[in-house]
Structure 1
């Protein structure tokens, strides 16, 4: 069992690494991935790192704490966990907790320079400018190859802002101009608009209008190339002030109107995030309540020292009971909501399954009932030739009904998320041979010629059982809708570097263009019944579409009435170095 679990963990880590490699990360995030790769065998740490890279701060906090609680005393893992937590608290604007986490990290941690940078950012947010300068000065002296993603331009810009707030204008000018040169080299328009505006405001504070105005104009011209509404609004508003000071009131009014337009656009954009902002405000209120409780406790202590000991105890008990019942109410509401969502989902799944069962089984059972009635009549007359024909028809109906029930079972497992699913590297040829072997008698019964010309070198990434289910459905359809003495071919095409196209071709009755379009629609259960001898509702194909999607593949259908059908299943290729 231990070996099995190790294989599962390896597969999970491999595919998570493959997923990560397809995303675009900053230099800092790439360094995090590289430096922490050796610890991803720890499940909680790997999840914390994954959520950190996805910028899901609450989940990062949960799993980093779980990792710290496992008892693993590896100092480097602990440093990473405290680093993830400190950064997450900083992004959530909970600065006190962020600083606590950063202080728990060893000075020998590879990203310790980032900690200084983050502490400088926090000090700047809290208007502790001199403290922020001390942190940024330390980063300024670090060599570029040790920065691991820290931009020197950002360090110099932050220093310039700190000195501007301290009214040390010469130093502020020096650092802001330095940052502008670096931003210009990086061609970062967004940061340049900000920096130009800050330099212009610096000169305005010193009444150096002749130096400020060119930077206001640069900021305004560059703002035309960015999509940040707030920066566009500020640039236009600054130009309005400039033109007003020049007594050019017509232009000033024009810029003012433009500023108001960007303000309206910004307001519209902000409405989109209104729900998220309400959630943030709720979290802040929760923190404020905790602060209020702490303040109440301090007041109780003062009251105790003044002789109101018993009154303070009563107040404390009342507060405790209120908080307890409040928390219990929240907990109960969450449980009820979760149970309601689960029940709604189960009811929807139940209704869907009942609908499928009642719709799909009726036709096959009715066909069997009718056929058996005919069989009884022919047995009475001892018409052996007709009895043989009816028995063959019953066999076909039984096979179709069995396949329908098998599809229903897999559909139910898929909808209730009980199906086991594991994507691995598979050799297509042998999977097809295994499935085709079971269909040889059915093909022989209709004298159908079968050809499997798949190359033994074709490997795909798929779940083995779901791939077999796809092939069974496609074989079943191909046999069902093929004529006597027809053929079924299965082969592959490799026109793409990413996908391998598996093609199941027959020369049966085919389909119209409208039928193909309807079959390819999502959530469509459509009867493909073309004559009275063929039973089918499209459930198998709907299940196939779901399985192909779950395997990260694609489906296409090419067909003409009377000329046969091609089902084209595109599956991800296995990279050459991973083929068995």
Structure 2
């Protein structure tokens, strides 16, 4: 206990020291006695410190450093400014701009022989490949940077490279190497009072413990990370905070501690919304929904579905605005480079003119060459600007397309709640009426009448359960949370299971159900999803076929190695309008069967979604008044 209190007190003292670093840099920058080189270095340091805290402020400092470095021809300052700009773009998934700027930085560092600058660029490239989840490439570049800094007496940079390399080994599941390097990084962070990096190290230590199922140690260091981050305030590493809350939630769900599980999931959601970390939202909302499904709290599920859509839409719009602002900074950087090149050209022109003032022909020749070079440079610069403008146009088109998709999803959401409001109410009202009759008037009914009422209650209950199942599957698909477990299995077995269930139903309607399986066919799909597809198509065929009609289920292997399953009926068919829209996104229409059977309109929507997930092609042929034929093609 005493040791734990000493550790907490020591970490708190580190936080107080480190939280002043950024404020200190900002105050130094305003010192009028600074030289230009010192001001450039301080601006670059500030940009680096702010990259993971405030990308907008970091970009502002980097551009200011770049402007000064270009004006005073400070190559090293230019290179570090380019590196900082690259890090900001990469963090915000502008990978093209990030790669372009890091290559500029590498080129300058190599030209001036700055090996530590090259190592810093390798660090940035490691982060680049981490964003792309290419952990082998991430590990390769962090090895290079760690090897370079191991040769120099620079503990602050060695701490960074040790942590980065440890993290890359963690993603490669080489936990012993990760643990050893992370231990060294923690030692250096404590010596250097580098509290933000120390919080990342403890988060990594907790993650390793969690992967090795050491829940007590994982919980301890996730909580330590959060304690440090709370003390850092606005200078905390937000990603470490979110991932620590999610890690604690995973631990508490394993411990069946529902109160602390919800507390940490809620904190992760709160910070993700505040800091606009859109990528965490689907997983967090999915955790809430699964929790309330397990606890049968369907009202909360509906609330979280609505909240998710509203929050996600708002943050996506904000994210697009942020990315637009960062893209404008690319244009600013190009303008700075263009001004620098023009100034250099003018300077060269003046120098040449003074040196060769007595030789008019040479002067004219040099001016002509410089003019041609300038025109070529302007041509290249204009080409780059046009390329950026085209990219902005493309991004605008993407945003408009996403807006249309959001409108479609909103219409679908309205339909969803319409179904919930109407189709849940009707069967539940029937159940209520039947149960009231049995409770209040059972003495007035014969045994046969009570059995008949019970059967009707059972039928209504099964319809309600099936509706709830379809609605939950449909909602999961809309949030991209449906999972597919594809295996190889015999298609014929699934067909037999489905038709065995529906044979009595067809017989009750006096419909002939004909099953014709010619070959033994093996398919590669999710068995449950494929069974759902076949079940819905057979159910619809029987539902829309009148008494005396027939339904056929046929499987075969056709030319080109395609395997087919055809379900046809002699029912009432579809109009051209319905046939053209039946599988379109957002089209949900309820239609009664030939015997007055009810439906939700969700069945074929789910069939289309599951078919796309399993790479199954659907061919529809229907003639109004004559029947419908639907063929599934398996590759």
Mark yes or no: TM-score above 0.5: no
Rg (Cα) greater in structure: 1
